[in-house]
Amino acid sequence: MSINYGNISTEGVASQIANNLRDAIVEGRLKVDERLPTEEELAERFGVSRPTIREALKRLAAQNLIHTRRGPTGGSFVKKPSQDEIREQLSSIASVLVSVGEFQLPEIVEARHELERICCRIAAERRSSKILEEMEAELLAQQQAAITDVEFCASDVRFHRLIVEATENQMLQFLMSAVIEVLQPVLNLVAYKFRERKLIVAQHREILDALRAREGKRAEKALDAQMSYLRERYADAKEWRRQRQKQKKAG
């Protein structure tokens, strides 16, 4: 076990201690399931109070880096976050950044498009029969006349999530989690009033048929067509909002 106990200033002490411990975990100096020193030991070594140590440990727990066990053999232990936990954190961060305007719509569209093109190409090679069946089920749901806008958008997200899952590449699934779970719903919210469901379904059908035939380039081309269409709808939505704001000011 190797932790840097020095170089702590008086400002943001708990944060600095948490960062030191985090560095030890990330760099592998503290191993998964390894027990951290007790609060008393950490307080003595860092030269701070136990409440300060508790605050530092809370920060690490909030980052899913440690967990606490009770009992005689308890204490704080290094945790190995699950894929789902990491994806949830990434999605939460992306959601916050979108809400504060850190990401612009063209950037979101470009990122989604380019990453999903890669997924289409790989998915065409690796897609399973089960994934194809699930995508088919989403298409059937999207064609129902009674489906609401919310339900259609949710199915749209699930359809594109299945493209990513079909790659069987966990790194791509991790990277795309924020795009699919957070950014795509944002795009749907912008454009749903201006897009034609039948056309979206037809584009989805072409993507699915291409994946079924293991034709990656064809799947990419179908995705390109959908993203080009959606870009136009985003522009329509932007102009509609501009006109409404103009009318409000004039009225």
Q: What is the CATH number of the domain that holds 246?
A: 1.20.120.530
Domain residues for the domain of 208 are 84-250
Those residues with Cβ within 8 angstroms of residue 38's Cβ, 6 or more apart along the chain or in another chain: 75
Q: Comparing C-alpha atoms, which of 79, 101, 74 is closest to residue 89?
A: 79
Q: What is the pLDDT of residue 87?
A: 64
Please write the tens of the pLDDT for every residue from 159-213: 999 999 999 998 898 888 777 776 666 666 666 677 888 999 999 999 999 999 9
Mean pLDDT of the chain: 85
Q: For residue 157, what is the enclosing H or E element?
A: helix 149-165
Q: What is the mean predicted confidence (pLDDT) over 223-230?
A: 93
pLDDT tier for residue 102 given thresholds of 50, 70 and 90: confident
In the listed set 53, 78, 103, which residue is the last one of a domain according to the structure? 78
Q: What percent of the chain stands above pLDDT 90?
A: 40
CATH code: domain of residue 38: 1.10.10.10
CA atoms within a 13 Å half-sphere pointing along the CA-CB vector of 81: 17
Please write the tens of the pLDDT for every residue from 50-75: 999 999 999 988 887 888 888 777 88
Do residue 39 and residue 157 come from a single domain? no
How many angstroms from the chain centroid is the CA of residue 36? Answer: 30
Please write the tens of the pLDDT for every residue from 116-144: 999 999 999 999 999 999 999 999 999 99
Residue 144 backbone phi and psi in degrees, to 5: -70, 130
Do residue 134 and residue 58 come from a single domain? no
119 within domain boundaries: yes
pLDDT tier for residue 151 given thresholds of 50, 70 and 90: very high
133 vs 23, higher pLDDT = 133
Do residue 233 and residue 122 come from a single domain? yes
Whether pLDDT at 10 is above 50 = no
Q: How many domains does the chain have?
A: 2
Q: For residue 68, what is the enclosing H or E element?
A: strand 66-69
Do residue 131 and residue 60 come from a single domain? no
Whether pLDDT at 218 is above 90 = yes
How far from 216 is each of 151, 180, 203, 239, CA to CA, in Å?
Answer: 28, 20, 15, 35
The two three-digit tokens of residue 147, written as one number: 């489906």
Do residue 44 and residue 97 come from a single domain? no
159 within domain boundaries: yes
- Of the segments 29-33, 203-207, 228-232, 247-251, which one has the largest average pLDDT value? 203-207
Do residue 134 and residue 71 come from a single domain? no
